[in-house]
Amino acid sequence: MILLRAPARRSRFLLGPVLGITLTGYFAYHLVEGDRGLKAWLRLNREIGTATANLDAVRAQRAALDLKVSELRPDHVDPDLLDERIRATLNLVLPDDIVIMRSAVAH
């Protein structure tokens, strides 16, 4: 009878630390690997960096297009740009112009 009480008494003292270590391991694992863990946080930061770079490129393209459009407004027409657009649209050149043929690039 005394032999059976000793392991039960020891197991009662071990239950708390084992439970604590198990819970600590569980939370440590989810701190790193979970949906909102460190790896997910690093992945989201990389995605934000990529999206920010993409946004900057689109903003630069938009600024260039806005500048081009502002030069085509009726109140302020840039003669060089107007001449360029007329020649490109009508496919015309002057006799002394040098024409450089490029392949069409799809955007």
pLDDT recorded at residue 33 = 92
For 6, half-sphere exposure in the C-beta direction (CA atoms, 13 angstrom radius) is: 3
pLDDT recorded at residue 3 = 55
pLDDT recorded at residue 57 = 97
pLDDT recorded at residue 84 = 81
pTM for this entry: 0.52
Spans of the chain, pLDDT less than 70: 1-6, 8, 105-107
CA distances, 92 to each of 6, 84, 98 (Å):
104, 10, 12
Residue tagged 């900057």 (tokens): 56
N-to-C CA span, the chain = 86
